[in-house]
Amino acid sequence: MSLTTAQVLQRFLPAYRHTHKLTPQQAKVTNLLCACHTQALGGYTLRCDDCGHCKDYFHSCRNRHCPQCQRQASEHWLLQRQQDLLPVPYFHVVFTLPHTLNGWVQLHPEVLYRLFFQAVSSTLKTFGRDPKRLNGELGWTSVLHTWGQNLNQHVHTHCLIPGGAFNTDTQVWREARSTYLFPVKALSRRVRGVLVSSLRKAYDRGELSRIEDHAEVDRVLNTLMHLPWGVFSKPTYGHTDTVLGYLAQYTYRIAISDRRLLTMDENSVSFKYKDYADDYRQKVMALQGTEFVRRFLLHVLPQGFMRIRHYGFMVNCQRRRKLAQIRQSLSTAATSVSRPPRTCPESAVAVKAVLPTSCPRCHCTHIRIITREKIRKR
């Protein structure tokens, strides 16, 4: 049986809690992850009418941090985004928050993440509306990631952006001619200035109350203004489906998937990771169990925080109408929109059965639910 994150938490979380205090949100998440697919959450008992075989199936926790849950929700999200694809080139743009701010993120994650989203959106909207560039409205989807492959804190946002902008006054789509959409150095300077200014104002408003040293605020913000901020921009060139698939993997889970976990002993956990600094080579990392828990908990999101956001003509309330206008402007029927090879209809994902449709012993289809109550250990 493969190793799961829940098993790692069950073993090492008690030791971690002896030396660290969990936030209410971290405690809630870890309790749900440890109870996922166990009798603690109840479930169903299925019985075969032919052979009398009975088997229990336990509920999932359905928490967005759980590696065992939400596979269907991820598939559903992916199929919805496929329907939104326009027949134009796409760009994958990544904005990275400097590690200098990692300590502030741990103290005020909701404030830092919110201001980071706002700085990125303000920057992209400004560049899109610039008459010397695209002179129109951009539309894109942003997904916040807070981790690197080794589970350390690495806050960045992935933006999937159609290569052009739509002028709502002239109803004309203006295609991006650049191979990188916008100059990355200019993007970096703009997002840096916007976010540093926003952080200073947030501190003055008392939103960063856990940072008590005013001199530290000035020192950190002044340092940030002299650092190059990481911005990556690359056209997808027909691999938009690959980028969408990558984003979909982490729409309803965080940090690590169970398939990357390798072994666990009394003291440590080992897992696979990709070393981007060493030509993307696959390596194995071993961590002390409590250190694994610490790194995992760095990525627990604030209660109710939206880490997937749509902007411009992709906002939920306007998306359908504006995409239709853009397709009309491109003189392209909606049925000819380029889509990834995965063409499974959305309805098939929505009704995919969680419970088996045949008996695991005799393989007949005469099985039925005999109880929906909380299951006690046999």
Please, are residues 258 and 91 in contact by the beta-carbon 8 Å criterion?
no
Count H helices, E strands: the chain? 11, 13
In the chain, % helix, strand, coil (3-state, to 5) comes to: 40, 20, 40
The full 3-state SS of 334-351, as one line of letters, equals HHHCCCCCCCCCHHHHHC
CA distance 342 to 250: 18
Strands of the sheet with 43-48, listed across from one edge: 54-58, 43-48, 367-371
CA distance 378 to 376: 6
List, in order, residues 6 or more apart from 74 with CB less than 8 Å away.
248, 249, 251, 252, 253
Which residue is associated with the tokens 């992850």? Answer: 33
CA distance 267 to 288: 6
Is the C-alpha dihedral spanning 109, 112, 115, 116 positive or negative? Answer: negative
List, in order, residues 6 or more apart from 276 with CB less than 8 Å away.
149
Per-residue CA distances from 130 to 123, 126, 305, 373 (Å): 11, 6, 31, 60
| pLDDT tens sequence for the chain (378 residues) | 689 999 999 999 999 999 999 999 999 999 999 998 888 888 777 777 767 777 777 888 888 888 888 777 788 888 888 888 888 889 999 999 999 999 999 999 999 999 999 999 999 999 999 999 999 999 999 999 999 999 999 999 999 999 999 998 888 999 998 888 999 999 999 999 999 999 999 999 999 999 988 899 999 999 999 998 999 999 887 677 777 887 887 777 788 888 899 999 999 999 999 888 888 889 999 999 999 999 999 999 999 999 999 999 999 888 999 999 999 998 743 344 444 444 444 333 333 445 566 776 676 766 566 655 554 443
Please, are residues 132 and 219 in contact by the beta-carbon 8 Å criterion?
no
List, in order, residues 6 or more apart from 335 with CB less than 8 Å away.
none
Identity (one letter) of the amino acid at 349?
A: V
What does the radius of gyration of the chain's CA atoms come to, in whole angstroms? 24
Task: State the DSSP code for 318.
Answer: T
CA distance 84 to 201: 37
Please, are residues 17 and 276 in contact by the beta-carbon 8 Å criterion?
no
Helix (H, G, I), strand (E, B) or coil at 22: coil
Tokens of 147: 């981790």
Q: What is the pLDDT of residue 334?
A: 39
Question: Taking the domains of the chain in order of start, what are their residue ranges?
Answer: 5-63+353-371, 71-255+299-343
217-221 long-range contacts, Cβ below 8 Å, gap at least 24? 220/100, 220/101, 220/104, 221/196
Which residue is associated with the tokens 């921009």? Answer: 233
Is the C-alpha dihedral spanning 122, 186, 85, 328 positive or negative? Answer: positive
CA distance 209 to 44: 47
